[in-house]
């Protein structure tokens, strides 16, 4: 009897290991605090700036972009408990020095926080 063969004659294939690009990266959470970034190497020898903490946001108000301070996270649509922990996600409502604003980008992917003012 041949080893490594099924009774029908077909081969048993061993499970392969995951390649580096197939592996799941660690979930990145952006907290409210003194700005802290990290540089990560990605595919094609490129670099991605990862945001770990942030206390400023690029705020679009009246057609102009201003850098403002983030005071607090008021509401997060994904999960209400994230707002209590001051975690910044896309769609979160934040309180800034100019008023309430909604985050329009993914801070963990882009290395900065972009927001639009809410009336």
Q: Which CATH class is domain 27-117?
A: alpha beta
pLDDT for residue 1: 56
Provide the token pair at 71.
């005071």
Q: What is the DSSP string of 68-119?
A: EEEEEEEE-SS-HHHHHTTEE-TT-EEEETTEEEEE-S-HHHHSS-EEEE--
Mean pLDDT across the chain? 91
Which tens digit of pLDDT belongs to each residue from 40-81? Answer: 888 888 998 999 999 999 999 999 999 999 999 999 999 989
pLDDT for residue 93: 97
Which tens digit of pLDDT belongs to each residue from 24-33? Answer: 878 889 999 9
* Cα–Cα dist 67/58, whole Å: 5
Cβ proximity of 46 and 39 under 8 Å: no
pLDDT for residue 63: 92
Q: Where are the domains of the chain?
A: 27-117
**For residue 71, which of 90, 56, 81, 59 has the smallest C-alpha distance?**
56
Cβ proximity of 99 and 38 under 8 Å: no
């Amino acid at each position: 009897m041949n080893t490594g063969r099924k009774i029908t004659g077909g081969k048993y294939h061993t499970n392969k290991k995951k390649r580096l690009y197939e592996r799941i990266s660690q979930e990145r959470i952006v907290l409210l605090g003194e700005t802290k970034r990290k540089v990560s190497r990605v595919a094609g020898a490129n670099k991605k700036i990862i945001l770990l903490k942030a206390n400023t946001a690029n705020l679009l108000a009246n057609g102009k972009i201003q850098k403002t301070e983030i005071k607090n996270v008021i509401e997060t649509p994904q999960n209400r408990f994230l707002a209590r922990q001051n975690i910044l996600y896309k769609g979160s409502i934040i309180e800034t020095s100019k008023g309430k604003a909604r985050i329009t980008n993914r801070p963990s992917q882009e290395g900065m926080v972009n927001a639009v003012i809410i009336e």
